[in-house]
Chains A and B, each alone.
Chain A
Amino acid sequence: MATSSLSEKKSLYNFLGLYIFLTLIILLLASLMYYRFQKELMLSSHLPALQNDAKEVIHRIRQMHESLLEDNYYPRYSSFKSAIYDADYVKIFSLLKGESVDFHNVLYKRGRFIYFIKEPERYYLGTKYVVIEVPDDERWISTTIKNILFFGSIFLLFMAFLGYYLAKLFLRPMKNSFTLLNDFIKDTTHELNTPVSTILTNIETIDKSKLDPKVAKKLGRIEIAARTISTIYKDLAYLLLHEKLPSTIERIDMNELLAQRIEYFKTLAQSKRIHIRFSKSPCYLQADRQKMTRLIDNLLSNAIKYNKVGGTIRVVTFRNGFFIEDTGVGIPKSKQQEIFERYKRLQSSEGGFGIGLNIVYLIAQEFGIHIAIDSKPNQFTRITITWDE
């Protein structure tokens, strides 16, 4: 059935959405860790050279110290820059390009430079920290990003396929249940049609005026029950087959069709002492008669079902539409958007499957018909059906 397939797809997409979202978070964290690892690796690869550089600077400042700064020329190298700081982080001398130094890290990268901090064994010239600065060509960054993108895409694709397979696996029991239910409904529906039609045909052939009033009343009840089953049968048949049913478009006199359907529901309405008033204006529609019958039947059926005993139903046609108004329980504003969803029932006490207004919605969609609801709880519900001329 289309609903089960839609529901299955929705569940599948929801699961896949969540799964991909979580996978992306994992991928992001993994990428971040990989990036940091690559950075550490790059820094470690520079460490031996940086230690040698620091040794050279320390050796030189030791000479300067031992000369009591008579020799005061600070060493300069083309491959790196250096600086010396005292124990209170005061700069003694610096050739660094970057100004701020992070004394909490021994080896780190800031901006486009790598920094290494070495503490001499003694404070030559008061130096507690020798800072070495070398430029970083950042080639490792582009390699890392390329790797992240490449392996990340492969991982994402793999996880997507795995997720799809898992989702299918998890949804199989649900799909089986839907199939079972659909098959059951199909079989039941098929088996219902013949006996219900037989009951209704036979009831219609009986001349009720010749019957005892008590028997006629009982027969009326049988007729109501049979018509209710017939309506349910037609709704289920529509739901099962509406995608396969071809529409025969014809010009429908809506007054004539509505009158016919009101007549059909008359017995049911009488059982609740509901009075149906019908105001006619010329009203025509190009649509499929069988489908419009289903639409009207469901609206009338609901108007009777949710009406109070002794209530009224007003059916009014106008040039490009009609409305059916009952004096029933009404529909709260917050629920008005939901009532067209399948299996949505506002009052479980009234029975039914919650498929009637969904059928109305599906038919309206097919013929470009607009549905408007106006309702006040415990006062009235008016469902207006209009179409473009």
Chain B
Amino acid sequence: MGRITLITLFCYLTLFAADLFDKKCVPCHQKRGVGLKPIFFNYLLYHSSERRVKRAMKEFLLHPDPKKSLLPKKGKIYRHHFDPKTLDKALDIYWDRYKVIGKIK
């Protein structure tokens, strides 16, 4: 019973995070014309590894600083209001969606 509860909770959280990324992050970036893919490749260009990229993204999203911005277009910076755990999950999805490992031929 306990195991079923745990699996259910995990699936819920995963789906919730995916839902969050697709419903909150993607439409907002599309609306503002700031593509998520170019941003991802800019982060790769300056931070290289998964650990470093996620750390830098999280740092910027929680404490936006125009000087540290890697957005392709310079403009107004919006403060995100996710709690750190939700943000971690959203960033995991973001990484998995655009990562280069496994996509090179």
Per the bound structure, the CA–CA distance linking A90 and B50 in Å amounts to 9
Residue of B nearest to A61 (CB): B104
Q: Which has the most chain B C-beta neighbours within 10 Å: A64, A69, A124, A127?
A: A69
Given contacts A68-B41, A73-B105, contact A125 B100 (CB under 8 A): yes
Structural contact, B104 and A69, CB atoms closer than 8 A: yes
CB contacts (< 8 Å) of B27 on chain A: these are none
Cα-based distance from A127 to B45 in the complex (angstroms): 8
Bound Cα distance from A88 to B46, whole angstroms: 14
Interface residues of B (CB under 8 A from A): 37-38, 41, 44-53, 100-101, 103-105
Write the A88-130 contact mask toward B (1 if CB under 8 angstroms, else 0).
Answer: 1011110000000000000000000000000000111111100
B45 touches A88 (CB 8 A): no
The answer to whether B101 and A90 have CB atoms under 8 Å apart is: yes
Tell whether, in the assembled complex, residue A123 and residue B46 are in contact, meaning their CB atoms are under 8 Å apart. yes
Q: Measuring CB to CB, which residues of chain A are less than 8 angstroms from any residue of chain B?
A: 64-65, 68-69, 72-74, 86-88, 90-93, 122-128
Which chain B residues border A90 with CB–CB below 8 Å? 49-50, 101
The answer to whether residues A86 and B49 also contact, given A69-B104, A92-B100, A92-B101 and a CB cut-off of 8 A, is yes
CB within 8 A of A74: which of B45, B46, B105?
A: B105
Nearest first, the 5 closest Cβ-Cβ pairs linking A and B are A87-B48, A86-B49, A88-B49, A123-B48, A126-B44
CB <8 Å contact, B45 and A122: yes
A68 with B48, Cβ < 8 A, contacts A73-B105, A93-B104, A126-B53 known? no
Determine the distance from Cα of A91 to Cα of B49 in the docked complex, in whole angstroms: 10
User: Is B103 touching A124 in the complex (CB atoms < 8 A)?
Assistant: no
Considering the complex, give the chain B residue whose CB is closest to the CB of A66. B41
CB distance from A42 to the nearest CB of B (A): 32
Task: Judge whether B105 and A87 touch: CB under 8 Å.
Answer: no
CA distance A373 to B53 in the complex (A): 89
A68 contacts B49, CB within 8 Å? no
* Nearest Cβ on chain B to A259's Cβ, whole angstroms: 105
Contacts A73-B104, A86-B49, A123-B45 supplied; 8 other A-B pairs, CB < 8 Å: A64-B104, A68-B41, A69-B103, A87-B47, A90-B49, A93-B104, A123-B46, A123-B48
CA distance A68 to B44 in the complex (A): 11
Whole-angstrom distance between the alpha carbons of A124 and B41 in the complex? 8
Chain B residues whose CB sits within 8 angstroms of the CB of A65 once the complex forms: 41, 44-45
Show 26 residue pairs from A and B whose CB-CB distance is below 8 angstroms, ordered by the A residue.
A65-B44, A65-B45, A68-B37, A72-B103, A73-B105, A74-B105, A86-B49, A87-B47, A87-B48, A87-B49, A88-B49, A88-B51, A90-B49, A90-B50, A92-B104, A93-B101, A93-B104, A122-B45, A123-B44, A123-B45, A125-B100, A125-B104, A126-B44, A126-B45, A126-B48, A128-B49
Question: For residue A74, which residue of chain B has the nearest CB?
Answer: B104
Measured between beta carbons, the chain A residues less than 8 angstroms from B45 are 65, 122-124, 126
Interface centre among B51, B53, B101, B103 (most CB of A within 10 A): B101
A73 to chain B, nearest CB (A): 5
Q: Chain B residues near A122: list those with CB within 8 A.
A: 45-46
